[in-house]
Amino acid sequence: MGVVSTNPARCQDCYRCVRTCPVKAIRVMGAQAEVVDELCIVCASCVRACPQQAKISRDDLPVVKVALADGRRMIASVAPSAPAYFEMASFAQMEQFLSGLGFTAAGETAFGAEMVGQAHDELVEQEVELRPMITSSCPVVVSMVEKYYPDILPHLAPIVSPMIAHGRYLRRRYGDDAFIVFIGPCIAKKGEIMERAVSGTVDAAITFTELEKWAQETGAAFPAVRMEEEPVQRVCARLFPIEGGLVGTGHMDTDILAGDIVIASGIEACRNVMEGIRSGALEARLVELMSCEGGCINGPALMDQGSVALARQRVIAYATRCQPQPLPTRNEWPQLERVYHDYSRPTPEFTEEQIQEVLHRVEKYSPEDVLNCGACGYDSCRQKAAAVLSGMAEATMCIPYMRTRAESLTNVVMDVTPNAVLILDNTLHVQDISLTAERMFNCHRSVVRGKPLRELIPIADDFLAVRDTGQPMLNKIVRLRDDLTVDQSIVPVGGENLMVTVLRDVTESEQQREEMERIRAETLHRTQEVINKQMRVAHEIAGLLGETTAETKTLLTRLARLMQES
């Protein structure tokens, strides 16, 4: 896994990461955006931009904690942009803070910056042919050159970054068994420590935010400011993270109007400078390039700190404080040289027929259909089509096309549904009706759109109840007219201030039901009449039988008595 990855559960198919990625290293497959490591320059633009925090960087804290638990000697190299994040007046505060977390020692990466700045100055003075020279301290810039501008690799200063320079210094001082941790504002440093040209120097790279998270877990607090040190002459190496920091550290001309030195920050500004070098039009001795606008003080781990100008002010103020120890002398410097590699990938080429075939998939047949709106993340429809052919994008990423398709599907459903459909707003005004509703109410949608519901349905009590309670009302039989009875369902659309009403014509079935009810009632009435009549006849018959039986009994009794007497 690379430095930046995607949390699929959070990715919401918004393409914002694609829009912000300067090198289009985001592949969209199955509506999920993933980072292609071979193309990524780890600028963290996607991490900054993702509104759902779906883009996450590799967390080195677990590795650091394991090393600490194993009893390794923990040595920290703290980036000079730390005062922009922590309230620092002296490095002693940071040393105390890190000691509480288990670090054996801590040093300022500014030591490495001092070495790197001077090395650049010396190289600029020596090198004449390959001008301008590109500073090599920003890992994003280095990665961009290696992957996208390999033809200008010779212009890249063959000097390690301050992190690697300081890491090599600490490694020499504390031994190979020491566990060296870089702490700074940069996510790209997590990738730099793994590069084959400099790997094995720094064991882990964590950001200021990750350090603070660790401190919160352990209950450690950053020491309060103690203004014990008197201001001294400003230490240029501590200004390394701001624009022009390397130039100043190397004691070169920091005049922004100087023509032989170019200072640029931000990906687009860096890209423009590289294009100028590629074309041979840029005339300068040195170009200092920083991928974050304003410099490292605007790194990904500092983006929630507010104003970049305020961060710059804090770093400058800190630079006037005493060093905890003198900078290393020249004979203490480690090796600063490094090599670069061409990691570029060939750009696939596609025929006009292939491009047109993709455009036709999203119903772009003429120049008027090609909007180049950029909603998909690509600058033009043709660029997006090429990305589709490269397997980096999906044709359905076209927002205008998907909207048109959705509207078309909605219209199809509205036109073919056998039930009447009405869409109302919360003021009970008609927004749309289906063709069946047009026939049911003998009207046309163009006429009733925007009109009050009462022009179609006089009694609106049910609609008011649904609007006020937010609860749907389902399958209620309502007689709208003498000749129209419907099965009525009203459903509120959450968050849209709309209600959808479905009316199913049940007039015929209701008439049949009423006729059956009438027949049943009449049948029951006739049945009751027959029962009553039968009961009456039975009573009459019973009465006659009773009289006859009594007379017979009397006669037989008399006859028996006579026979006894004779």
């390394």: which residue's tokens? 240
Q: Which of 290, 251, 262, 287 is nearest to 117 (CA)?
A: 251
| Confidence (pLDDT) at 226 | 67
d(CA 504, CA 527): 36
108 and 80 Cβ atoms separated by less than 8 Å? yes
CA angle 263, 266, 267 (to 5 degrees): 115
Give, as one character, the DSSP assignment of residue 328. Answer: P
User: What is the per-residue pLDDT for 54?
Assistant: 92
Cis peptide upstream of residue 150 (ω within 30 degrees of 0): no
User: How is residue 285 written in tokens?
Assistant: 């001795």
Q: Are strands 498-505 and 420-425 parallel, antiparallel or unpaired?
A: antiparallel
Instruction: Single out the residue of 407, 413, 304 nearest to residue 85, CA to CA.
Output: 304
Tell me if 167 sits within 8 A of 76, measured CB to CB.
no
Q: Sheet with 74-78: list strands edge to edge.
A: 105-108, 74-78, 179-184, 204-207
CA dihedral 106, 110, 113, 117 (to 10 degrees): -150
- What dihedral angle (degrees, nearest 10) is formed by the CA atoms of 365, 367, 372, 376? 0
pTM strictly above 0.75: no
pLDDT at position 18, please?
94
- Report which of 512, 467, 113 is spatially closest to residue 290, judged by C-alpha positions: 113
The pLDDT tens digits along the chain (566 residues) read 689 999 988 998 889 999 999 999 999 988 889 999 999 999 999 999 999 999 999 999 999 999 999 999 999 999 999 999 998 888 889 999 999 999 999 999 988 988 898 888 888 888 666 789 999 999 999 999 999 999 999 999 999 999 999 999 999 999 999 999 999 999 999 999 999 899 999 999 999 999 999 999 999 999 987 655 554 444 677 888 888 777 777 667 656 556 688 989 999 999 999 999 999 999 888 999 999 998 998 998 876 666 888 888 888 888 877 655 666 677 778 899 999 999 999 989 999 999 999 999 888 988 888 889 988 999 999 999 999 999 999 988 988 888 777 666 667 777 778 898 998 988 899 988 888 888 889 988 778 888 899 888 888 889 999 999 989 999 999 988 888 999 999 999 877 788 999 999 888 887 777 778 787 777 777 777 777 777 777 777 766 666 666 666 666 666 667 666 65
409 vs 256, 416, 490, CA distance in Å? 58, 11, 22
- Distance of alpha carbon 412 from alpha carbon 170, whole angstroms: 70
In DSSP terms, 500 is beta-bridged to 423, 491
Strands (E), 398-454: 420-425, 430-433
| Confidence (pLDDT) at 529 | 74
**Residue 97: what are its φ and ψ, rounded to 5°?**
-60, -50
3-state secondary structure of 202: coil
What three-state secondary structure class fits 387?
helix
Question: What domains are there in the chain, each with its CATH number?
Answer: 61-141+154-255+288-332 (3.40.50), 352-416 (no CATH), 419-505 (3.30.450.20)
Residue 109 near residue 186 (C-beta atoms within 8 A): no
- For residue 345, give both structure tokens: 């990938």
